[in-house]
């Protein structure tokens, strides 16, 4: 691992934090209790801003505004083309403010600034555009009923939606949930993660400028056990779309079951296998494997953190990995040459370090890294373990940090069995030029996304979501739009009939 040189990107403008209050019914307001909480800059461990701490009463107000906007307001009733026009304007405003939004997420979440400014914020704008394009193409089907009836379906917006998001990519999370909900004609109450509340408030301000009517987007910043729990148990919310940990997913489903039986979509954790077969080009695959595991400090749900390497190329893979990891730069995410910034907060930092200790204790070999950096901020070395067995905690648990487990395998059947021996099923990477192996493995792995000879090949049109305990209900692609809609069936006799 290399340390960064300390020179920030010369064009960086550190923005003033303008939006720190709840956004309810089109206005920025204090929480009813007047309480605030600190959001911390993980680069410096300093307080970045004091943010309004929403609780149950604030969620009630936000839901009331969203309910009124849904039942009485224009948004669900607008022609789809008009929703599209407003959403396209919203997306343009996101692009225009990309530098500021990128800096906010870099300071709040530790996302790499060059990536955020160059791709990730524009990616959020494009997600909104993708769903804007769908807003006037939502229609049902004409049915062929068995008797002499005409039958058809209407696709109606599901209603008031609670959107609860994690901290790893605050802008992407906002766009991939709010985009399809708006296109469908829903109204929303968003609860961003308490670690990264700032950009969601900025997006709400831009949406208002674009012409999204008051009450359609509401943001309640605050903690999961209070504001989040109030959303998942609310009697007047029709759907909760959640991204976060499997533990919280259980709680949200329980709350939905014991309140109003609202629909629930859960995008949860993962422990994805990255499988490298003996015919793969090791020189090309090693950098991909590193990024696939360490990207965003390893804080990505689809991180390929279990690397399975076929025994014929195992030694070569390790020696190339050693070369590449030496040039992996850890440092301030505002610096342009940096590959890895800080973990999002002290809690995650401690959690990752404790897994590294557990890996050593359980007998894995520490191949590289393994320590925190001796500097301010939540920086951890990229850490690679070898001689990892499938039952070790570093191989079974989602660490959500820069920790890679490398394992050796012999046969196709063996690696399929071992790749599937996890409670998760979010993604997998399959590196081979052998078509038969690629086809067999991709159909045998129980995961929602399989990347063959690539990794993180995200696309607006590619649905992402889990199998098994990684959850259900997709984000992204046209699949995501479906969860914000419900089907109404309508039947009428074609002419006077005995059923009239
Ligand atoms: P988390 O579950 O702790 O928190 C996620 C959100 O849920 C936050 O907004 C939090 O405040 C809220 N929350 C917490 N307790 C709640 C409760 N009882 N009721 C309602 N809301 C509650 O997860 P995290 O630590 O913020 O994020 C990391 C996790 O997210 C990882 O497991 C990761 O794999 C997962 N993730 C999944 C995807 C995906 O697409 N599948 C994407 C990103 C992250």
Which tens digits make up the pLDDT trace of 41-85? Answer: 999 999 999 999 999 999 999 999 999 999 999 999 999 999 999
- In sequence order, the 6+-apart residues with CB closer than 8 A to the CB of 493 are 148, 149, 150, 499, 500
pLDDT tier for residue 333 given thresholds of 50, 70 and 90: very high
42, 167, 13: which is closest to 107 by C-alpha?
Answer: 42
pLDDT tier for residue 238 given thresholds of 50, 70 and 90: very high
CA of 193 to the centre of ligand 1 (A): 7
CATH number at residue 90: 3.40.605.10
pLDDT tens column, 77-96: 999 999 999 999 999 999 99
- 303 and 218 within one domain: no
Residue 418 is assigned to a structural domain of this protein: yes
**Whose C-alpha lies nearest to ligand 1, atom 43?**
301
- 368 and 329 within one domain: yes
- 386 and 476 within one domain: no
Residue 86 is assigned to a structural domain of this protein: yes
Would you say the CB of residue 252 lies under 6 angstroms from ligand 1? yes
Phi and psi for 456 in degrees, rounded to 5? 50, 35
272, 312, 271, 279: which is closest to 431 by C-alpha?
Answer: 279
Ligand 1, atom nearest to 167 Cα = 26
- 314 and 415 within one domain: yes
The total number of structural domains that make up the chain: 2
Question: Among residues 53, 267, 335, 398, which one is catalytic?
Answer: 267
Q: How far is CA 315 from CA 77, 457, 487, in A?
A: 62, 27, 55
Ligand 1, atom nearest to 269 Cα = 34
Pairing of the two strands 2-3 and 329-330: parallel
CA of 47 to the centre of ligand 1 (A): 22
Would you say the CB of residue 39 lies under 6 angstroms from ligand 1? no
- 366 and 455 within one domain: yes
**Whose C-alpha lies nearest to ligand 1, atom 22?**
224
CA of 123 to the centre of ligand 1 (A): 21
Task: Provide mean pLDDT across the span 254-270.
Answer: 98
The CA distance from 389 to 419, in Å, is: 12
Helix (H, G, I), strand (E, B) or coil at 336: coil
Helix (H, G, I), strand (E, B) or coil at 46: strand
- 114 and 20 within one domain: yes
Residue 467 is assigned to a structural domain of this protein: no
- 255 and 121 within one domain: yes
Number of other CB atoms surrounding residue 198 within 10 Å: 25
Are the C-beta atoms of 428 and 446 separated by less than 8 Å? no
Task: Provide mean pLDDT across the span 356-383.
Answer: 98
Would you say the CB of residue 229 lies under 6 angstroms from ligand 1? yes
pLDDT higher than 80, residue 6: no
Residue with tokens 């090693």: 286
pLDDT tier for residue 498 given thresholds of 50, 70 and 90: low
Test site for ligand 1: of 108, 111, 248, 463, most ligand atoms within 8 A of the Cβ: 248
Test site for ligand 1: of 42, 120, 166, most ligand atoms within 8 A of the Cβ: 166
Question: Among residues 194, 265, 301, 398, which one is catalytic?
Answer: 301
Residue 3 is assigned to a structural domain of this protein: no
Would you say the CB of residue 228 lies under 6 angstroms from ligand 1? yes
- 333 and 261 within one domain: no
CATH number at residue 331: 3.40.309.10
Task: Provide mean pLDDT across the span 235-257.
Answer: 98
- Identify the pLDDT of residue 135: 98
Residue 492 is assigned to a structural domain of this protein: no
Residue with tokens 């929403």: 54
- Identify the pLDDT of residue 5: 73
- Identify the pLDDT of residue 500: 52
Ligand 1, atom nearest to 400 Cα = 31
Helix (H, G, I), strand (E, B) or coil at 249: helix
Would you say the CB of residue 345 lies under 6 angstroms from ligand 1? no
Residue 441's domain spans which residues?
273-460
- 206 and 117 within one domain: yes
Phi and psi for 409 in degrees, rounded to 5? -140, 165
With pLDDT > 90 as the criterion, what percentage of the chain qualifies? 95
Number of other CB atoms surrounding residue 140 within 10 Å: 15
**Whose C-alpha lies nearest to ligand 1, atom 13?**
224
pLDDT tens column, 353-368: 999 999 999 999 999 9
Residue 1 is assigned to a structural domain of this protein: no
Q: Which tokens is 222 given?
A: 């605050």
pLDDT tens column, 284-327: 999 999 999 999 999 999 999 999 999 999 999 999 999 999 99
- 287 and 261 within one domain: no
Task: Provide mean pLDDT across the span 461-486.
Answer: 97
With pLDDT > 70 as the criterion, what percentage of the chain qualifies? 98
Test site for ligand 1: of 55, 224, 397, 448, most ligand atoms within 8 A of the Cβ: 224
pLDDT higher than 90, residue 494: no
Residue 495 is assigned to a structural domain of this protein: no
- 227 and 361 within one domain: no
301 annotated active-site? yes
Secondary-structure breakdown of the chain: helix, strand, coil percentages, each rounded to the nearest 5: 40, 20, 40
- Identify the pLDDT of residue 495: 76
- Identify the pLDDT of residue 7: 73
- 279 and 225 within one domain: no
Residue 68 is assigned to a structural domain of this protein: yes
């Amino acid at each position: 691992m290399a340390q960064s040189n300390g020179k920030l990107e010369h064009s960086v403008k550190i923005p003033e934090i303008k939006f720190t209050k709840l956004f309810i019914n089109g206005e920025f307001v204090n929480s009813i209790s007047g309480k605030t909480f600190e959001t911390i800059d993980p680069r410096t461990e300093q307080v970045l801003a004091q943010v309004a701490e929403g609780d149950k009463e604030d969620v009630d107000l936000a839901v009331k505004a969203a309910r009124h906007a849904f039942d009485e307001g224009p948004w669900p009733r607008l022609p789809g083309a008009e929703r599209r026009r407003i959403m396209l304007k919203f997306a343009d405003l996101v692009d225009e403010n990309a530098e500021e939004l990128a800096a906010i997420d870099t300071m709040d979440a530790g996302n790499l600034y060059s990536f955020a400014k160059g791709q990730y914020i524009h990616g959020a704008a494009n997600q909104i555009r993708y769903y804007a394009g769908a807003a006037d193409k939502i229609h049902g089907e004409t049915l062929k009923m068995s008797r002499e009836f005409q039958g058809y379906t209407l696709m109606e917006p599901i209603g008031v939606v609670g959107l609860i998001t994690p901290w790893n990519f605050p802008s992407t999370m906002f766009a991939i949930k709010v985009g399809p909900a708006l296109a469908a004609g829903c109204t929303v109450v968003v609860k961003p993660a308490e670690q990264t509340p700032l950009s969601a408030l900025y997006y709400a301000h831009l949406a208002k400028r674009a012409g999204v009517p008051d009450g359609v987007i509401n943001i309640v910043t605050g903690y999961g056990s209070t504001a989040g729990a109030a959303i998942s148990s609310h009697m007047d919310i029709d759907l909760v779309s959640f991204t976060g940990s499997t533990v919280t997913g259980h709680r949200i489903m329980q709350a939905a079951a014991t309140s109003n039986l609202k629909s629930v979509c859960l995008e949860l954790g993962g422990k994805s296998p990255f499988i490298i077969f003996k015919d793969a080009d090791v020189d090309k695959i090693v950098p991909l494997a590193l990024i696939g595991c360490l990207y965003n400090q390893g804080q990505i749900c689809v991180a390929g953190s279990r690397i399975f390497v076929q025994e014929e190329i195992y030694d070569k893979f390790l020696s190339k990995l050693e070369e590449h990891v030496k040039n992996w730069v850890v440092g301030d995410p505002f610096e342009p040459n940096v590959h890895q910034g800080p973990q999002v907060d002290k809690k995650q930092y401690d959690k990752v370090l404790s897994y590294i200790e557990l890996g050593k204790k359980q007998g894995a070999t520490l191949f590289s890294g393994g320590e925190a950096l001796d500097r301010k901020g939540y920086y951890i070395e990229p850490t690679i373990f070898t001689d990892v067995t499938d039952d070790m905690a570093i191989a079974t648990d989602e660490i959500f940090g820069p920790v890679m487990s490398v394992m050796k395998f012999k046969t196709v059947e063996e690696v399929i069995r071992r790749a599937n021996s996890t409670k998760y099923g979010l993604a997998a990477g399959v590196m081979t030029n052998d078509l038969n192996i690629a086809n067999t493995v991709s159909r045998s792995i129980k995961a929602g996304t399989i990347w063959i000879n690539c990794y993180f090949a995200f696309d607006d049109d590619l649905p992402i979501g889990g199998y098994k305990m990684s959850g259900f209900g997709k984000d992204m692609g046209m699949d995501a739009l479906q969860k914000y809609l419900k089907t109404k069936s309508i039947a009428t006799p074609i002419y006077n009939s005995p059923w009239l």
